[in-house]
Chains A and B, each alone.
Chain A
Amino acid sequence: MSFLTMTNLEKLFGQNRVVKDFSLSVEKGEFISLLGPSGCGKTTVLRMVAGFESPTAGGITIDGKDVTGLKANSRNIGMMFQAYALFPNMTVADNVAFGLKVKGAPRAERDARVAEMLALIGLEDLGARFPFQLSGGQQQRVALARALAPRPSVLLLDEPLSALDAKVRVSLRNQIRQIQQDLGITTIFVTHDQEEAMSISDRIVVMNGGVADQVGAPFEIYNRPRTKFVANFVGTLNTFEVEVTDPTTGRVTLAGQGLSLPNAPLAAHVGEKLSVALRPEALRLGRLPDAEALLTAKVTDVNFMGSVIRLKADLAGAAVSLDTFNRPDTPPPVVGSEVEVSLSGRDFILLQA
């Protein structure tokens, strides 16, 4: 049995059903991200696990114990909030010790645990400071130490990186992941940032309209999106219409060039138009020997992003993005120029509605 299970969770606010028949099993030590746009229900799911919201239907178990009706203070859960939520009237050390103090842990045990936690987050010297004397990143690290100090069975992260600047966000997310793996703590992370979710998670749950559209490893979610929503929400996507020429072998044509789609045979008939998608990195500049098709595109925009150059171009009647690695000896194409683009049928993603 999984360590944390959510079974057929439903949540209604008035007449508005924000979570619909949501089920998920999380293994011990797993790092799961709930990813989706605002209002998709991801935070509500997290708050039901924390005990701040009661499910309208369904149940939650942690380590085999049904916690659905338990109050938040009886669930042994650690949580980080978007706005840090450190107690402003307490020092860093007192904040970290809070969970142990309310549970009646002796002073010596509290002090030892606080020292251990502050060392874990690398803020050993800041125990006597108040939250207002810390930067945002430091405050969030203290919030992590505070959440971990009482040795919770599950760690919940409610968009903890959203309020931080880009550089601190990357460094803190790596630190969170490292600590999570070191401690082996089961973690649920809520975010609307797909790059963040992909870089940190064992599995991602992409949520849309209160339901889980797809659950899978980051590689699977990115490369094998099951729905149009997942494909569009996770990463950049170029969509095309292709015409089926032979459903049994998965042959289609795009701008007059033949291609074989993956997962043949196709559930379509000859002449049917299908919606397919390609990631920007699957459109490759130049004439490549393994390409199935070679098309000409007109460059409309060039974004130099360092190691990667992202081009915008008109290709087969569609406005597309394509990524190419920077090469110091080859300057990027200029706007208005025509370039050859190689593509292969195996890179196409066949989209469901």
Chain B
Amino acid sequence: MPKQPGGQRLRLPLEWLGILPFLIFAMLFLIMPTMKIVIGAFQTADGSFTLQNLIDLNTDSIRSAYWTSLKLSFVTALLGCAIGFAMAAAVVFGGIPKGVRNPLVTFSGVASNFAGVPLAFAFIATLGPVGLVTVWLRTEFGINLRAMGFNLLSFWGLVITYLFFQIPLMILIIIPALDGLKREWREAAAVLGATGAQYWRMVALPILFPSLLGTFALLFANAFGAVATAFALTGPQLNIVPIKLFAQIRGDVLGNPNLGYALAFGMIVITALANFLYIWLRVRSERWLK
């Protein structure tokens, strides 16, 4: 049958229909707000172009807020990775009864999403100045946490609180990676004369490195953007970027939304740099993958 010129009908690409809700969601709640932030960071209140918002970031208070946020994110990501890895390794390789694994994974699923006001309240109720554990340690063992310098409403208090969701997140992500380490690799290394430490240093950790790096980046971003827990725990008194940003955009008379946009733009830049570093390291460490 002869082909009719121009007779091809436009066909609706139905295969894209399934991801349409996600695309709409991402457009409305990720891409458009990000564009709004980036544009707003270069605008005055009346909408004209300016670099003043970025220049205003260069104050002692804001520099300090970025530095504290970076430290907090780095420390909680590092500790979360280390402790979570040790726990996951104990569950996968450590000879712990198999019945422990499923409850731990289920708990990690819940705890990794346990943040904000409930988490802050839980920690105040346990490790706050008159918290359950604080009082119990003081009355039963004579250990006075406050006299020892511990304050829940401080940097290290926030680190401990963040670890409550950072460690479970690490466990959830790293257990499948640990499961992927083949028993034959460990046995081949052993039969070739390697000690357990040599196997981990020369075989297992290099294989896991991309996963560890990815999880570290995720934990870093998770902590860097967390505001609800920090604000609920310390109020405005802890100087970190999300709290500063929250103060600028919540709408009271002291707020400067465009400075808030600039703060958020700074966070985007830092997160992007961290991700570029992560991708670069990952590509270098994955030369052996297909």
Contact = CB atoms under 8 A, between A and B. Distances in A.
B245 to A, nearest CB: 41
A131 to B, nearest CB: 8
Nearest to B194: A102
Interface of A: 50-52, 71-79, 81, 83-90, 98-99, 101-103, 130-132, 146-147, 150, 156
B207 interface: yes
A87 B188 CA distance: 9
A150 B193 contact: yes
Contact of A87 (B191, B195, B203): B203
Contacts of A101: 202
Contact of B192 (A52, A84, A98, A132): A98
A79 B193 contact: no
Interface string B231-270: 0000000000000000000000000000000000000000
A115 B73 CA distance: 48
Which has the most chain A C-beta neighbours within 10 Å: B192, B194, B203, B290?
A: B192
B195 A73 contact: yes
A213 B184 CA distance: 29
A88 B191 contact: no
Contact of B184 (A76, A78, A85): A85
Nearest to A103: B193
Given A51-B191, A132-B289, A88 B207 contact: yes
Chain B residues touching A, majority SS: helix
A72 B191 contact: yes
Contacts of A156: 191
A77 B188 CA distance: 10
B154 interface: no
B190 A73 contact: yes
B287 to A, nearest CB: 7
A89 B288 contact: yes
A265 B202 CA distance: 66
B191 A77 contact: yes
Most buried by B among A51, A72, A147: A72
B187 interface: yes
Contacts of B176: none
B206 interface: yes
A88 B289 contact: yes
Interface string B198-215: 100011001100000000
Contact of B190 (A72, A83, A89, A130): A72
5 contacts: A52-B190, A81-B188, A87-B185, A102-B195, A150-B193
A73 B191 contact: yes
A99 B202 CA distance: 12
B188 A85 contact: yes
Contact of A130 (B184, B191, B193, B288): B288
B191 A78 contact: yes
Interface string B28-47: 00000000000000000000
Nearest to B286: A89
A79 B203 contact: no
Nearest to A84: B184
A131 B182 CA distance: 15
B65 interface: no
Can you list the 8 inter-chain pairs with the closest CB atoms, starting with the nearest?
Answer: A85-B184, A99-B192, A72-B190, A85-B188, A102-B194, A89-B206, A130-B288, A79-B191
B160 interface: no
A81 B203 contact: no
Given A52-B190, A132-B289, 10 more contacts: A50-B187, A50-B191, A51-B190, A79-B191, A85-B184, A85-B188, A87-B185, A87-B189, A102-B198, A147-B192
B66 to A, nearest CB: 36
Contacts of A76: 193
A83 B290 CA distance: 18
Contact of A79 (B182, B187, B194, B288): B187
Contacts of A130: 287-288
Contacts of A83: 182, 184
Interface string B276-290: 000000000001111
